[in-house]
């Protein structure tokens, strides 16, 4: 029998919200969500680094169930890497989930598949969960190269990762043309690619690992399209950008079962 996978919905705030705004947003989100929501869905927020300590304090002192996430980290443990933040530093703040290889990191900051793989290993090595991002450009999709691109990113990202670790990971499929554009992949396209990713994981790492790994869809997820996406068998959650900045909207996404 298939392992039931607990859905995970993650808010990627990108470079938005200072630490005061972050505290307010987390408090409001906590107020909007109830115990059942947290039982049904893992909810993580991924603020800028400067906010993490502030939200950690609020989340822990009020015993909130919201998971603390980060958007990136460097793969070295420490040293002369001006401007970078290490995985151990994040682990010390009780961060549990770290987005790795987001398309904005790859495209704007030149992160390679090799960097992404090292980051995946650094995150896992510090007992946190990577959210490994993949996704094709519009040009690649139109040229029929979407699957090849995503397969390459997944295989490179998972290279040398132990099977047990693979099973514990989250993969986010985010077609680049759907990010911040208001243009969502159809739930059928999203399902097809998520099923394809599960197949790639099965082939590379084993059927059990593929059954356990959680796959999120990301790209213009909103309260109005989340239910249909979550109804797909291989979509186990969402990575939400713009719509996670406002607590009411993000809570409505987490509560997709109600609509
Ligand atoms: P979006 O961003 O929801 O604003 O499209 C998604 C993401 O980049 O993670």
Q: What pLDDT digit, counting tens, does each position of 101-120 carry? A: 999 999 999 999 999 999 99
The count of C-alpha atoms lying within 13 angstroms of the C-alpha of 79, restricted to the half-sphere facing its C-beta, is: 4
- Please tell me the total number of residues recorded for the chain in this structure: 259
Q: How far apart are CA 159 and CA 162, in angstroms?
A: 9
Atom 6, ligand 1: which residue's CA is nearest? 241
Q: What is the CATH number of domain 8-258?
A: 3.20.20.70
In this predicted model, what pLDDT tens digit does every residue of 5-43 receive, in sequence order? Answer: 999 999 999 999 999 999 999 999 999 999 999 999 999
DSSP character at residue 94: T
Ligand 1, residue 180: give the atom nearest the CA.
5
- Smallest CA-to-CA distance from 52 within 83, 82, 10, 96 is with 96
CA of 100 from ligand 1 middle (Å) equals 14
pLDDT the model gives residue 1 = 44
Give the residue numbers marked as catalytic. 102, 174
- Mean of pLDDT over the chain: 96
CA of 182 from ligand 1 middle (Å) equals 9
pLDDT the model gives residue 182 = 81
CA of 179 from ligand 1 middle (Å) equals 5
Q: How far apart are CA 50 and CA 63, in angstroms?
A: 21
Ligand 1, residue 244: give the atom nearest the CA.
3
Q: Does residue 53 carry a pLDDT above 50?
A: yes
């Amino acid at each position: 029998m298939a392992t039931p996978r607990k859905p995970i919905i993650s808010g990627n705030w990108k470079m938005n919200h200072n630490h005061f705004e972050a505290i307010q947003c987390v408090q409001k989100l906590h107020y909007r969500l109830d115990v059942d929501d947290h039982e049904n869905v893992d909810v993580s927020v991924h603020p800028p680094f400067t906010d993490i300590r502030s939200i950690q304090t609020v989340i822990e002192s009020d015993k909130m169930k919201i998971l603390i996430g980060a958007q990136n980290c460097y793969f070295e443990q420490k040293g002369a890497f001006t401007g970078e933040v290490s995985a151990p530093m994040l682990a010390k703040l009780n961060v549990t989930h770290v987005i790795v290889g987001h398309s904005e990191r790859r495209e704007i900051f030149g992160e390679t598949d090799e960097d992404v793989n090292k980051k995946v290993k650094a995150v896992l090595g510090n007992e946190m969960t990577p959210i490994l991002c993949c996704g094709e450009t519009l040009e690649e999709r139109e040229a029929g190269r979407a699957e090849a691109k995503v397969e390459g990113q997944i295989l490179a990202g998972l290279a040398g990762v132990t099977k047990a670790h693979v099973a514990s990971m989250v993969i986010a499929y985010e077609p680049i043309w759907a990010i911040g554009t208001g243009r969502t992949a159809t739930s059928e396209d999203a399902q097809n690619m998520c099923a394809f990713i599960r197949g790639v994981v099965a082939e590379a790492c084993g059927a059990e690992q593929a059954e356990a790994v959680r796959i999120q869809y990301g790209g213009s997820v909103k309260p109005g399209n989340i239910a249909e996406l979550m109804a797909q068998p291989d979509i186990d959650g969402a990575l939400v950008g713009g719509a996670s900045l406002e607590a009411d909207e993000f809570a409505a996404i987490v509560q997709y079962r109600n609509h």
